[in-house]
Amino acid sequence: MQALSQPQAERAFQVEIGAEAEGQRIDNFLMTRLKGVPKGHVYRILRTGQVRVNRGRIRQDYRLRQGDVVRIPPLRLPAAEAAKSPPVRAVEHLGQRVLYEDRSLLVLDKPSGMAVHGGSGLSYGVIEALRALRPEAPFLELVHRLDRETSGCLLVAKRRPALRALHDQLREAGMEKIYLALVGGDWPRATEVRAPLHKNVLQSGERVVRPGVEGKPAQTLFEPLCRSALATLVRASPLTGRTHQIRVHAAHAHHPVAGDARYGDVELNRSLRAHGLRRLFLHAWSLRCRHPDTGGELSVTAPLPEDLRAVLESLGLAGW
């Protein structure tokens, strides 16, 4: 299978799915092969039925099977939408943040402020910068996602079988992810928050997640580590993998994550600015999974960034 060399194609073409792509979602398949095409455009051609599998319409979460024939429509995008190469500085910076790597996967310490992929007005993200850093790599795909302002452990697969095995672990709750979060108020004891989460899209296009009975089941374990008069440092373990889960569950428990402009508390955020907090205090601290090749345990930790450490020191919580 060949990726398009340009984000423009004059006529529709067909791709037959081989063993390497079996089990991959159609949206991820298209974004991998239509490099330079904005994410929003990929979902648009899926939603409007322009992409066909075996001559039939499919949903964006359809999983490909070996032998499927995918029809990809003509793509004529404005020049302004053409792919932009990630800045050299961003690529080099990412190259210095590899925490672990072998033939099948790598773990990055994602910086806060960098999206995991381009789209929605962003010309590039972590995965585009990583592909620019490793142009010889035949396969690089995100195993999971982190919010743009969240820092820490991000897992990337370097081989299709590894991606499938790691996705299986995510579905079966076989991967442990632990975050450090500073939340408002005094969180007195370990608490498991269970609240279904439902995604909404506002008229502005902004995606917002709310608790609600119509949502998907979601569970997060919060464990307090230390506290000040203003806030509590907690260890947050998502037992499910919903969008914005930790942030929404913390706010639902009346302890919003510090620095959260979407679900947080304005007064808390204003107070913590005096202690140097300039962004969301949420860090993907550690990740543990079974290695897809050996079956042995893989455990990786991303140190708390200096800016967040400085906030804790200012609050008198440096000894956590």
pLDDT tens digits along 49-68: 999 999 999 998 899 998 99
In the predicted model, what is the mean pLDDT of residues 188-206?
84
Per residue in 199-228, pLDDT tens? 886 655 577 899 999 999 999 999 999 999
Which residues, at least 6 apart from 42, have a Cβ–Cβ distance to it below 8 Å?
27, 30, 31, 34
State the chain's mean pLDDT as an integer: 89
Mean pLDDT of 182-195: 96
> What residues form DSSP beta bridges with 297?
290
Q: What is the pLDDT of residue 205?
A: 59
Give the pLDDT of residue 86.
72
**Residues 6+ positions from 196 with CB-CB distance below 8 Å:** 211, 212, 213, 214, 215, 216, 217, 218
* Interval 106-135: pLDDT, tens: 999 999 999 987 765 666 789 888 988 888
Query: In this predicted structure, what is the pLDDT of residue 155?
Result: 97
Query: Which of 154, 159, 149 has its CA nearest to residue 129?
Result: 154
Name the pLDDT band for 102 (thresholds 50, 70, 90): very high
Return all residues near 203 (Cβ < 8 A) that are at least 6 apart. Answer: none
Judge whether residue 79 has pLDDT over 50. Answer: no
pLDDT band at 309 (very low <50, low <70, confident <90, very high): very high
Residue 31 has pLDDT above 90, yes or no: no
User: d(Cα 19, Cα 104) in Å, to the nearest integer?
Assistant: 17
Domains of the chain (ranges, CATH numbers): 13-80 (3.10.290.10), 88-166 (3.30.2350.10), 174-314 (3.30.2350.10)
DSSP-based three-state secondary structure for 209: strand
Is it the case that residue 173 has pLDDT exceeding 80?
yes
SS (H, E, C) 14-28: EEECCHHHCCCEHHH
Q: Specify the higher pLDDT residue, 84 or 224.
A: 224
pTM of the model: 0.77
Q: For residue 74, what pLDDT is reported? A: 87
Tens digit of pLDDT for each residue in 238-266? 999 999 999 999 999 999 999 999 999 99
**Residue 1: pLDDT over 60:** no
Using the predicted structure, report yes or no on whether residue 2 has a pLDDT greater than 50: no
In terms of pLDDT, which residue wins out, 187 or 86? 187
**Tokens matching residue 264:** 């947080």
pLDDT, residue 4, reads 43
Mean pLDDT, rounded, for 58-87: 77
Return the half-sphere exposure (C-beta side, CA atoms, 13 A cut-off) of residue 236.
Answer: 31
Q: Which residues belong to the active site?
A: 147
Q: Report residue 80's pLDDT band, with 50, 70 and 90 as the boundaries.
A: very low
| Per-residue confidence (pLDDT) for residue 182, from 0 to 100 | 98
CB within 8 Å of 215: residues ≥ 6 apart: 195, 196, 197, 198, 199
Confidence of residue 77 (pLDDT cuts 50, 70, 90): low
Q: Is 305 helix (H, G, I), strand (E, B) or coil?
A: coil
Could you say which DSSP state residue 79 is in?
G
Provide the pLDDT for residue 302.
98
Tell me, what's the pLDDT at 209? Answer: 94
Q: How confident is the model at residue 183 (pLDDT cuts 50, 70, 90)?
A: very high
Average confidence (pLDDT) over 158-169: 93
pLDDT band at 6; cut points 50, 70, 90: very low
Instruction: Assess whether pLDDT exceeds 80 at residue 94.
Output: yes
